[in-house]
Structure 1
């Protein structure tokens, strides 16, 4: 039987899925090992203490932020209710920002070795693990993914580098296992940034819990979604798809890609929506790739790295001001990619040697990068030109 281009694309997707390693999870997990490693933390710390730039400036920006405020009072609640576009917003911002604050204080602890910061991070994590039971309403999976991406980054640093004790670490682990993981592990058929953020959280939580089964499950979903989020010319006439979404005609695929019918390398499923949501997806891809590298499986040399490299470069070009051609999103783009380039730029350009002119220019323009107030924070400090 002669294959149509669409069937050929589906067949290629299945074949590549079967080629992915079945056991992505390491036999022994590396800690701290969610997005940032001990070696990376040590390098960042040494540069800050030496007053070197851009790390000292990045650290100063972090310490001047509201997230490092030692008078911060956590605002936990039993049920966080998040509707579409945070309406209603019952605890959504509080949860995300307390999680970022926990991570911020964990980083501050590591750099300064001042126990006050470790205790503040613990206070924030303990406050939420004492009361949180559920996330509800339409944005519950996304909210869980966003907050669930920051909590394990904080917890990994505190649990594995702070010797002052964390008596309630077991309760915190139970919260991640019972409240967060069930909400995100099955993925999402919404816009791609949802599932990518959810899998970022699931992978990070799995590392903290040392849960190899959940890690493998999350990584498999991540790789399928990453392949369906960023287009490469090698994919064929049409982008790859997630089988459960039943995008089995060109018409359905074009509609899902925000009406974009011309597919070029580096385009993402949400480019024509706006670059802000696109940045969420790109950031999650880079974070999962970084965690996977720390855990012993380097995805940067696979199609994941290729998609990340081209997605960064394509979006960065327009974020920097290149005129938008008429064939792309009707000739108009909504900019605002966000502080999401450091991790991918460091891994792909500095470590692997790929030329990334536009990504580098945007990275330099944004330094020192801050936080998007959702799940990205302080990546010039942790990953900017970091050789570890």
Structure 2
């Protein structure tokens, strides 16, 4: 009898231990990728495209002016000839520049033609977009030199936007779509998927934007999850909120962790306030690139049904308001960047402003003034294009 009780007690203890382990053990890692990807679904959805198209066709502003600007640009030229290279070599500040500009511009042209196809339903634009993408997918094998990850980010953020629209809305066929997917997987994704922890934040943000866009097109859930994880760690290390404490969050995966190292990383800025960015005291131009990528990633995630805006909303809101206030003429205080900032944010606010103000109803006076004064957006930087056309007052 005693032996039976002892055996029973042992079984109960074992079961309790297993139950305790099950209840208190580490929870399974949440995934960010959707069970099924939505297409087209990189930066713009079909509903967004339909809304913008209807507004432009009706001659309403600002969509009509944005559409006219796009169609009049060299990027929409049907006589454009792609300039692919097997190896794109980009050093610091794109010096040397062996194919760097050509690659970025061809990617923007492919996206421009894809938009032109969708708005006009003129198959010549779809065929031109395919021609450009095919030229590069048949040629490129590598990116080299110090700016290879950044260059891959700039171009890799743009290519999937074009590819998504063409593959999923053009019924004329794209025989080499698989080869293009292989190019993104083998040439671009390895350069961007591991981030750039110690570089200025605009690097890692656009690299992450590229990784997420590529992941959607090639339907790689593991890469998507990894890119989202990198993104959610980088945003707090790029935009400061007072709730972070006396110092900003250090970049994840780096050795930048002491007060002196963090202040140096933030361009020598030692006073922190809501919306200040890691590159504010470098210049507003690079900061604008970082903020654009933050909004772009969140926009793609929302289309994919895994909305990241709630996680980054306050940082993006304050960062846009902070920088546009100085662009709008607010005097620079002595504590900020030694009393002088290098303005030039660029036309990078449209996506974030639409998401936060128009969809979520957040009052953003400074950002609204700046955004509306700088319409229509064109191709102001290396990866942003036509966001007034696609995202101005777009409820979808």
TM-score normalised to the size of structure 2?
A: 0.92
Number of matched pairs: 370
Q: Structure 1 stretch 95-104 or stretch 315-324: which is displaced more? A: 315-324
Query: 2:28 & 2:283 partners in 1: Cα distance?
Result: 31
Query: 1:93 & 1:248 partners in 2: Cα distance?
Result: 36
Query: 1:113 & 1:369 partners in 2: Cα distance?
Result: 23
Q: Which residue of 2 aligns with 1:156?
A: 164
Root-mean-square deviation (CA, aligned residues, Å) is: 1.2
Query: 1:175 & 1:244 partners in 2: Cα distance?
Result: 28
Alignment of 1:70-219 (within 5 A): 70-188=78-196, 189-219=198-228
Matched, 1:251 2:260: yes
Deviation digits for residues 328-374 of structure 1, max 9, x if unmatched? Answer: 00001111111110100100000101010000000000011111240
Matched, 1:269 2:275: no
Query: 2:27 & 2:338 partners in 1: Cα distance?
Result: 37
Query: 1:108 & 1:123 partners in 2: Cα distance?
Result: 14
Q: Please point out which of 341, 346, 352 is paired with 1:333.
A: 341
SS at match of 1:47: helix
8 A Cα contact 1:258 1:269, kept in partner: yes
Query: Unmatched 5+ residue regions in structure 2?
Result: 1-25
Deviation digits for residues 181-214 of structure 1, max 9, x if unmatched? Answer: 0011011020000000000000000000010000
Q: Which residue of 1 aligns with 2:354?
A: 346
Deviation digits for residues 262-302 of structure 1, max 9, x if unmatched? Answer: 00000000000000000010000000000000001222222
The structure-2 alpha-carbon separation of the partners of 1:154 and 1:19, relative to structure 1 and needing over 3 Å to count, comes to farther
Alignment of 1:287-298 (within 5 A): 287-298=296-307
Q: Please point out which of 317, 335, 345 is paired with 2:325.
A: 317
Q: Which residue of 1 aligns with 2:368?
A: 360
State the shift of 1:22 in Å: 2.0
SS at match of 2:394: coil
Deviation digits for residues 291-332 of structure 1, max 9, x if unmatched? Answer: 000001222222x11111111000101111211100000001
Deviation digits for residues 161-180 of structure 1, max 9, x if unmatched? Answer: 00000000000000000000
State the shift of 1:19 in Å: 10
8 A Cα contact 1:100 1:373, kept in partner: no
Query: 1:276 & 1:91 partners in 2: Cα distance?
Result: 23
Query: 2:28 & 2:265 partners in 1: Cα distance?
Result: 26
Query: 2:91 & 2:102 partners in 1: Cα distance?
Result: 15
8 A Cα contact 2:42 2:216, kept in partner: yes
8 A Cα contact 1:96 1:373, kept in partner: no
State the shift of 1:117 in Å: 0.4
SS at match of 2:88: strand
The structure-2 alpha-carbon separation of the partners of 1:104 and 1:19, relative to structure 1 and needing over 3 Å to count, comes to farther
Query: Unmatched 5+ residue regions in structure 1?
Result: 1-17
8 A Cα contact 2:234 2:252, kept in partner: no
The structure-2 alpha-carbon separation of the partners of 1:368 and 1:243, relative to structure 1 and needing over 3 Å to count, comes to closer
TM-score normalised to the size of structure 1?
A: 0.94
Q: Which residue of 2 aligns with 1:240?
A: 249
State the shift of 1:20 in Å: 12
State the shift of 1:154 in Å: 0.2
Larger radius of gyration: 2
Q: Please point out which of 225, 230, 240 is paired with 2:239.
A: 230
The structure-2 alpha-carbon separation of the partners of 1:21 and 1:363, relative to structure 1 and needing over 3 Å to count, comes to farther
Query: 2:341 & 2:152 partners in 1: Cα distance?
Result: 29
8 A Cα contact 2:233 2:252, kept in partner: no
Query: 1:327 & 1:312 partners in 2: Cα distance?
Result: 19
State the shift of 1:21 in Å: 7.0
